[in-house]
Amino acid sequence: MSGSEVLALGLLLVGGFLVGGVVSFARARRWVPMVIVAVLAVLAIAAAVLRLLPG
C-alpha cells in the first residue's frame, strides 16, 4: 500500500466514525453538534475519495 492509499483509508475510517456521531446526536435531537459533525464527516469522506482518484 502506498502512503496515499493509507491516508485515504484513514480518512474513510475517520469519516465512518463521524457518521456514527451524527447518528448518535440525531437520536438525542441535538441539532447543532449533529450538523457540525456531519460537515466534518462529509469533508473527510470527500477528501478520501479525491485522494483515491487517479490524477
Tell me the per-residue pLDDT of 1-55, one tens digit each, with 9 for 90 and over: 888 899 999 999 999 999 999 999 999 999 999 999 999 999 999 999 999 888 6
* Cβ neighbours for 48, distance < 8 A, ≥ 6 positions apart: 7, 8, 9, 11, 12, 15
Cα 2 to Cα 40: distance, rounded to the nearest angstrom: 25
Left, alpha or beta for 30 (phi > 0: left; psi -120 to 50: alpha)?
Answer: beta
31-52 vs 3-27: helix axis angle to the nearest 10?
Answer: 160
Helix, strand, coil percent values for the chain (each to nearest 5):
85, 0, 15
Predicted TM-score (pTM) of the model is 0.86
